[in-house]
Structure 1
Amino acid sequence: MIPFSVLDLAPVPEGSDAGDALRNARSLAQRAEALGFHRYWLAEHHNMVGIASAATAVAAMHVLDGTSTIRVGAGGVMLPNHAPLAIAEQFGTLAALHPGRVDLGLGRAPGSDGVTARAMRRTLTDPDDFPRDVMELQHYFADAQPGQQVRAVPGEGLGVPITILGSSTYGGQLAAALGLPHAFAAHFAPAQMRESIALYRAHFRPSAQLVRPHMMVCLNVTAADTDEEARHLFTSVEQQFIALRLGTPGKLPRPLADRAHEWGPRERMVLQSALSQAIVGSRDTVRRGLEAFVAEHRPDEILVTAMVHDHAARLRSFEIVAEVRDAMAAGASARVAAE
């Protein structure tokens, strides 16, 4: 069975605040654990009133303390914002307190605008430093060497597993060169997904962490008991992406009251570029969409994200995805047995 996992942006819905969003994140992680999802990741974004996971390690600790078996981590930490040693210490602390449950996904983008990025680290680093920073971070998680002057405590010797994130071909190429898992952000930037997957698989070099490629793809999946209800819930995501592209981001909007709403040409262009891989619908519709995606792209793992305004409806969406996952696994087993 392909593992299914959760990417949570800790959305702040209209009418609520960041505290509500973080409590909802913990609630979602607890439900995901009960439903058998493999891992739960939080994403680092800054200066965005609609996302509450800016302090990603702190948010991950909140979730780790409320769960017991599901893997928890960052999907990801935007490494240009931080000194590698600081991230090694933060995630080393998480791993020391919760052995065998902590992941660290790393991104090359700042997760913000240039002004905010400068406020994060004061002096902006060259994006070309990213591979060097990743390898420095790996060094801190390895066993300390004799005479090593700088050590991550906690962190050293814990081997916190690293994944390289990407929304272009760069991440796939770097992950392949370093022998690390690759997670592609098809939930907001699907244009180069196929090329990145192909490059990653073609050029992968085995490493101490990973013997064979592990390709993860993140998808927007909004599920409900009917197609109509799912499409209605998904209008929150559509509004959010349009506002972001127009430079007016805000909290996660309520679904549109007009269920028959039609977007104009400009909005459709924005949505097509960002959400062309989204799967929205009832249980049967979601199953058809996921089965088609798996058959075409053969991911090793699927990360599911769902930005739903109502928390109960969001939990229900993940419940339906878990039902679909189990049905897909049963179907695959039946086909193997028949052969």
Structure 2
Amino acid sequence: MRLATAEINLTALSYNLKQIKVLAPGTRVMAVLKANAYGHGLVKIAQHLNDADAFAVARIDEALALRAGGLTKPIVLLEGFFNRADLPILIANNFEAIIHDENQLRAIETSQLDARLSVWLKIDTGMHRLGIEPEQFEAFYQRLKACDNVDPKIKLMTHFSCADDVHSTQTQVQIAAFERLVQSKPEAKCLANSAGVIGWPQSHGDWIRPGLMMYGVSPMINQVGTEHGLKPVMRLKTRVIAVKSLAAGEKVGYGGRWHSKQQTQLAIVAMGYGDGYPRNARDGTPVVIRGKRYGIVGAVSMDMITVDIGCNPDGISVGDEVEMWGPALPVEEVAACAGTIPYELLCNITPRVSYDYLAEPD
């Protein structure tokens, strides 16, 4: 009997990409695949994104894995490169680099390269992470345009810090700052991540960078993917491995965090923080068994979780399937119960979880 399994619905993935194009018509799509495609499987996901115009990853090893998997689309390194020795690797594999500091620019200017490097110049408009300062923009831009090692068709970008909150003024401030700097430049521009695509259509520009929403999950505060016409791609499931009776007043799990107020039954399910399920999920965090929601009780263990199924009128038994999140239970809801964000839950799936890639008929 297979236990912890992540079902990946490739039909839903394709559907979401089409929906993204509806939300941002006329833009080119850079599909973000960093962190193992947000826990969904880097190469397998990329192989089913035929309508994407480019891929984006954080680091060179991720980009190399895509090339080894036979992917030929442009690949953008969101963190750029960190060593001059990386430049020949970028050139040989047709990787595109985001440039965000002086050290990178100087390395490009002073290296001998076999071809020109495609670059994206990143401007820090308020995220205060990677990116050149606004006052550096013109000098960086002119140096890149003058550099023989750089493809003259450079692209310009920034990154939002608060786009998930449509009530915040920060995103509009960032858009305005970016536009003031680049309005006279003819280069292609990219501002919108998933939250920008959904919440800030004025930021769509020439390129968009959908990540989380591509997997059917909402990047917006207190919303779920279905509210944006998206379908969950991952269904994390397992099985009931025991059902036992519990007397009133008995404590459950490590530390005895929860105790029963009345006689009940528990379903023990084969899932835990060793599979990537959040250890700090609170009592009452839902799971779905036989189409009905039940709440977990007691501390999440490495390999098991206890679920209060009451007097068990549905006859739950060993072998029954348990959905931990998926179409019947949004991962956004589980994340809220664990005091975290859905990004973390998806990315934390561990190697012992099996993956099943499914394609539903059209």
Q: Please identify which structure carries the higher strand content.
A: 2
Q: Please identify which structure carries the higher helix content.
A: 1
Structure with greater Cα Rg: 2
TM-score (norm 2): 0.40
